Structure 1
Amino acid sequence: MKSKQIKQLALASLRDNWGKGVLLSFLYFLITFIPEFIIEILLIPYPEWEYAAGYNLISIAISIILIPFGVSLSLSYITLIRESKLPVEELFTGFKYLSFLRALGLTILQSIYIFLWFLLLIIPGIIKSLSYSQAMYILRDRPELSVNKAITESRKMMKGHKWRYFCLNLSFIGWAFLCILTLGIGFLWLGPYFLTAHAHFYEDLRDREGAVAVKEAII
C-alpha cells in the first residue's frame, strides 16, 4: 500500500478512538515530563548541582528507564487496528507482549547498531534505522525470538520497503510543523495518527510476507 492508503486506514481505525488516543498521548507526556520536572523542583535550592556529574547521570538513568514506555505506547496501536479498540491501560500493562527488559534491551541494541552505522556515514545510518524499525512489532508477535534475531528479521522484512517507509514518515512533516504552531498541543492528536499509520504499515508487511509464504508453499 502507498502512504495515502495507509494514512486513510489509520484515520478509519481512529474514527471512534480519537479521545483515547489523545488521552494516551497525554499520559505518555506526563510519564516522561514529571520525573524531570520533580528533579528540577528539587534542584531549585541547589542550582550548582545542575552542572554536576551526578545530575547528568540521574537524567540519563531516567531517560533509559522511560524507554520501554515509548515501546509500549507504539505497540498499543497494534491492538487498536486488530481489535478496533485502543486500550489506554496498555501503556502500563503492555509489557505482557514485550517485557520491560526486552523492550529496553531492544531499543539499546538498535541504538548501538545505528550509532555504529552512523560512524561510517549518515546515509547508511538512516538506512539501517529504517531496516530495524519493525523489530518491536516482530517481538510482540514472536516472543520466542531473541532481541538480536528480531532486529535481523526486521531487516529482512524491510527489504524493498525502506523507501516506502521513509516516504510515510516524510508525509507527516507538514502536520508536525502545524503542531509546532499550536505550541505542541497538536502533537496529542498527531501522535495517535502517526503511530496508527506505523501499525498499519507493519500489518501490510506481515500480510505481504504471509502471501509470499503461501505462494511458495503452493509452488
Structure 2
Amino acid sequence: MNSKQIKQQSLQSLKGNWGIGALFTFIYFLISSVPTVVVEMVLIPYPEWEETLSYAVINLAIAIILLPFAITFMLAYLTMVRDSKLRIGELFTGFKYFSFFRAIGISILQSIYIFFWTLLLIIPGIIKGMAYSQAVYILRDHPELSVNQAITESRKMMHGHKWRYFVLNLSFIGWAILGIFTLGIGYLWLSSYFLTAHAHFYEDLKTSQAKEKQAIV
C-alpha cells in the first residue's frame, strides 16, 4: 500500500477510538513529563545543581526509565489495528510481550547503532533509523528473538521499503505544523493517527513479505 492507502486504513481503524487515543496521548505526556517537573521543583532552591554532573545523570536516568513507556504506547496501536478496539489497559500492552529491561535494551541498542552511523554523516543515520524502525514490532511478535536479532530482522524487512516509510512520515508534516497552531492540543489526536499509520505500515509490510515467501515456495 502507498501512504494514502495506509492513512485511509488508519482513519478507518480509529473510528470509535479517537477519544481513548487522545486520552492515551495525554496519559503518556503526564508519564513522560511529571518526573522531570518534580526534579525541577525539588531543585528550585538549589539552582547550582543544574550545572553539575549529578543533574545530568538524574535526567539521563529518567529518560532511560521512560523508554519502555514509549514502546508500550506504540504497541497499543498495533493491538488496536489487529483487534479494532483501543482499550485503556493496552497503554501498557508492551509489558505483556517483553520485559521492562528488554524494552530499555532495544531502545538503547537502536540509539547506539544510529548514533555511530550518524557519526559518518547525518543521512546514513537517518537511513539506518528507518531500517531499524520495525524492530519493536518484530520483538513483540517474536519474543524468542534477542534484541539484536530483532534489529537485524527489521533491517532485512525494510530493505527496499525505506523510501515508502520516509514518504509516509513526510506526509504528516502538514498535520504537525497545524498542531503547533492549536497550541499543541491537536497532537492529542495526531499522535494516534501517526502511530496507527505506523502499525498499518508494519502489518502491510509483514503481509506482503509473507505472500512473497509463499510465492517462492
Fold in common (TM above 0.5): yes
Give 1:52-67 correspondences, 5 Å limit. 52-67=52-67
- What does residue 28 of structure 1 align with? 28
The Cα RMSD (Å) is: 0.9
Distance in structure 2 (CA, Å) of the matches to 1:19 and 1:185: 13
Distance in structure 1 (CA, Å) of the matches to 2:35 and 2:203: 34
- What does residue 151 of structure 1 align with? 151
Give 1:36-55 correspondences, 5 Å limit. 36-55=36-55
Q: Is the 8 A contact 2:76 2:93 kept in 1?
A: no
1:163 aligns with 2:163: yes
Distance in structure 2 (CA, Å) of the matches to 1:124 and 1:102: 26
Q: Which has the larger displacement, 98-107 or 136-145?
A: 98-107
Give 1:5-154 correspondences, 5 Å limit. 5-154=5-154
- What does residue 180 of structure 1 align with? 180
What is the identity, as a one-letter code, of the residue corresponding to 2:56? N
What is the identity, as a one-letter code, of the residue corresponding to 2:184? G
Q: How many residues are treated as equivalent by the alignment? A: 217
What is the identity, as a one-letter code, of the residue corresponding to 2:36? E
Cα displacement (A) at 1:121? 1.2
1:215 aligns with 2:215: yes
Cα displacement (A) at 1:103? 1.1
What is the identity, as a one-letter code, of the residue corresponding to 1:200? H
Cα displacement (A) at 1:93? 4.4
Q: Which has the larger displacement, 64-73 or 40-49?
A: 40-49
Cα displacement (A) at 1:155? 0.5
What is the identity, as a one-letter code, of the residue corresponding to 2:38? I
Q: Which consecutive unaligned segments of at least 5 residues does structure 2 have? A: none
Query: What secondary structure is seen at the aligned counterpart in 2 of 1:89?
Result: helix
What is the identity, as a one-letter code, of the residue corresponding to 1:35? P
Distance in structure 2 (CA, Å) of the matches to 1:44 and 1:108: 30
Query: What secondary structure is seen at the aligned counterpart in 1 of 2:57?
Result: helix
Distance in structure 2 (CA, Å) of the matches to 1:22 and 1:178: 16
- TM-score normalized with structure 1 length: 0.97
What is the identity, as a one-letter code, of the residue corresponding to 1:168? L
Distance in structure 2 (CA, Å) of the matches to 1:116 and 1:53: 24
**CA-to-aligned-CA distance 1:57-115 (integer Å, 9 cap, x gap):** 10110011000100110001011010001122222343111221111100100011111
Distance in structure 1 (CA, Å) of the matches to 2:10 and 2:72: 18
Distance in structure 1 (CA, Å) of the matches to 2:22 and 2:68: 19
Identity %: 65
